[in-house]
Amino acid sequence: MKENFFTFILTIFILVILGGIGYIAYYYFYVGDENLVSEIVPVNEISNEPIKPIEPIEQNQQSSESTELLPIDSGDGNTQITQVTSGKYKYYYNQLDSNAKKIYDKLESNIENIKTGNAVLDFDDEFNDLLNQEQGQAKLNEAYQSALDAFSLDNPEVYYIDVTNMVLMIYSRTNLFGTTYTTAIEPVSGGDYLIDSIANKDELNSKLAEIEYVKNSVVEQTSADDDYTKIKKIHDFLISHMEYDQTLERTNTRNIYGALVEKSVVCEGYADALKYLLDAVGIPCVEVVGTGTNSAGETEAHAWNYVQLNGAWYAIDVTWDDPTIIGNGKVPKSTYTKYFLRGSKSFNKTHFANGQVSEGGRIFTYPALNEKDYN
């Protein structure tokens, strides 16, 4: 009798165990798949509001001071060029946290893939631990936006990404053991993340060749110069080469293609061009965002640069050194160097850096300017 009772109990116990295993297998392989979801981490558009240049000067022509660089065209986009190794200064990358650096690194290592406009940059479960934390998605969202901001400032040559059409997707799979998250950077559904003026990778490579032709010409003409002369020549070249875009409507008015090839941009284009060319000649340069107050008392969003020379940092605002000009006559030489290699004591009277590139990203810090202007 006892043996029958124990046999019955053992049989029930085994059936319970087998039933539990079957339930777990069903939940894992079927229910888990049904819980697959995707979420779009919002991307905040980088603020691109330009500030107007200083008020028009009732004179004409550029400074009589020579730029000392021969005129440079952009080529036809098919010219075979020798790649110049730049002294890339990744100032903003160094301010990112570990999560944002992973995103920045992924963008940087996939430049060729990104040129297609539809490449998916897969992180697999790289951020799973973060997303399983409290406020994990909010933290990843900030890291993503900060990485985009830093990448765009450090790499003005990657001007062709429309970040409003690039999203970070989060996928989750839930089962009895918990939730696993995977992430990937993708184009918005049904589109690509190249700017509207670029149709495909071949067209993009042709435009990049035009930009690099200008860069290589500048590098060649300044190769024997000391750092000060390189900075001065490039500053003067940009003033003579470009003009401020009064329409504010051109497609490339805020990037280096508009600056170096189309030759008409707003402040971001000027700042991008100076950063790009000084990188190419190995001089540390960062783009700075904030506000500027011109001599008419108008304050608006603005962009300029800080450069390092002889171990100290100085400010350059190429946009304001290239004023809007009407009428006849010559502009005094001093007009074209009013904001060239300035220290904090003079420059910060009109320029106010705030480090806020986009609403969703981190607030960046800048190098401390030397108090006095460069002599």
For residue 92, pLDDT over 50 is answered with yes
What is the structure's pLDDT at 231?
97
- Higher pLDDT, residue 224 or 86: 224
pTM exceeding the 0.85 threshold for the entire prediction: no
Q: What are the pLDDT digits (tens) for 107-144? A: 999 999 999 999 999 999 999 999 999 999 999 999 99
Confidence category of residue 249, pLDDT binned at 50, 70, 90: confident
For residue 248, pLDDT over 90 is answered with no
What is the structure's pLDDT at 18?
57
Confidence category of residue 221, pLDDT binned at 50, 70, 90: very high
- In three state form, how does the secondary structure of the chain look? CHHHHHHHHHHHHHHHHHHHHHHHHHHHHHHHHHCCEEEEECCCCCCCCCCCCCCCECCCCCCCCCCCCCCCCCCCCCCCCCCCCCCCCCCCHHHCCHHHHHHHHHHHHCHHHHCCCCCCEEEECCCHHHHCCCCHHHHHHHHHHHHHHHHHHHCCCCCCECHHHEEEEEEEEEECCEEEEEEEEEECCCCCCECCCCCCHHHHHHHHHHHHHHHHHHHHHHCCCCHHHHHHHHHHHHHHHCEECCCCCCCCCCCHHHHHCCCEECHHHHHHHHHHHHHHCCCCEEEEEEEEECCCCCEEEEEEEEEEECCEEEEECCCCCCCCECCCCCCCHHHHHCCCCECHHHHCCCEEECCECCCCCCECCCCCCCCCCCC
Confidence category of residue 287, pLDDT binned at 50, 70, 90: very high
What is the structure's pLDDT at 1?
53
- Higher pLDDT, residue 55 or 204: 204
What is the structure's pLDDT at 247?
87
Q: What are the pLDDT digits (tens) for 317-328? A: 999 999 765 444
Q: What are the pLDDT digits (tens) for 136-171? A: 999 999 999 999 999 999 999 999 999 999 999 999
Domain ranges, ordered by start, for the chain: 2-34, 41-353
Confidence category of residue 372, pLDDT binned at 50, 70, 90: very high
- Higher pLDDT, residue 81 or 291: 291
